Structure 1
């Protein structure tokens, strides 16, 4: 199956471990795509929750998805700097003009000064029991949190402010 094409729109769909749809970002512009990574961008895009509620994102975001890592990274360009929201998730698949992944509850929030905090540990514990996450999954996710925090400390990949700003400039060329 062909992958996403730069300049074209795609959806982002997150699911829960039990297969239930969790959230859909309606339109994200593909900026770069390889067999291992897709980078997209959006601004003021419609997001629909599993319960039918919807909202619109407030700022431009550059989104990084990986086939080899159990996380994805959303870089949000705000007036006070770049904020990051990292979903601990399955690697993505691209199917039907959408990036799809399983959201595993845990999130890492990164501030412009590159300090960070792990979120939603209580939600993870509840869903791990409810959805019977396999024991090996717990180990995989913890190892990927370690890798993610290493990337943050090293300002690697999506945590390079220069790279995010260059990708935002590319996004603007597709919107004009």
Structure 2
């Protein structure tokens, strides 16, 4: 797999299990790009939903994607602290200047005090039935949810206290 170049711009494309495009973030800056990890940043970027509706992100965000983990993490810098939005998803692929992944509905919202809520369990169950997620996929996704929750508790990887701040400082050097 070709890795994105730091300093380049990429699109982020989220798909559903059935192959349908779910959401597109138009413009993210690559801060780090390897075969196994991409760290990106965006601020006030255009997002297009599958139904054509658009919106613009409200704050700077540092995005963490890994090719071996079935989740991605977005750290949003707000006035009262860093909030994280985590998607249970397929590992990413990078092609045609776009980072792509399959969104599997289960999400975790993490607050600045590192408490968290699991979101969209009902949507996951609905899509699991509608799109016939195989039992092995269901196990992979739930195992990765457990890994993600452990990372949050341990403040590991993108949840370490300095991670978002350090990458945000790097982002500012490009602006």
Unpaired runs of at least 5, structure 1 = none
**1:101 match:** 101
Q: Are 2:22 and 1:22 aligned?
A: yes
Q: Are 2:23 and 1:40 aligned?
A: no
Q: Deviations over 1:59-82 (max 9, x none)?
A: 000000010000000000000100
**2:160 match:** 160
Deviation at 1:93, TM superposition (A): 0.2
**1:7 match:** 7
CA contact (8 A) 2:87 2:104 kept: yes
Q: Are 2:48 and 1:56 aligned?
A: no
**2:75 match:** 75
Aligned Cα root-mean-square deviation (Å): 0.7
Number of residue-to-residue matches in the alignment? 175
User: Structure 1: how far apart are the matches of 2:56 and 2:161?
Assistant: 24
User: Structure 2: how far apart are the matches of 1:74 and 1:45?
Assistant: 14
Find runs of 4+ consecutive structure 1 residues off by over 4 angstroms. Answer: none
Deviation at 1:161, TM superposition (A): 2.6
TM-score normalised by the chain length of structure 2: 0.99
User: Structure 2: how far apart are the matches of 1:36 and 1:9?
Assistant: 18
User: Structure 2: how far apart are the matches of 1:26 and 1:125?
Assistant: 29
Alignment of 1:95-174 (within 5 A): 95-174=95-174
Unpaired runs of at least 5, structure 2 = none
Q: Secondary structure at the match of 1:28?
A: strand
TM-score normalised by the chain length of structure 1: 0.98
Q: Secondary structure at the match of 1:40?
A: strand
User: Structure 2: how far apart are the matches of 1:152 and 1:45?
Assistant: 26
Q: Deviations over 1:29-67 (max 9, x none)?
A: 000111111000000000000000000000000000010
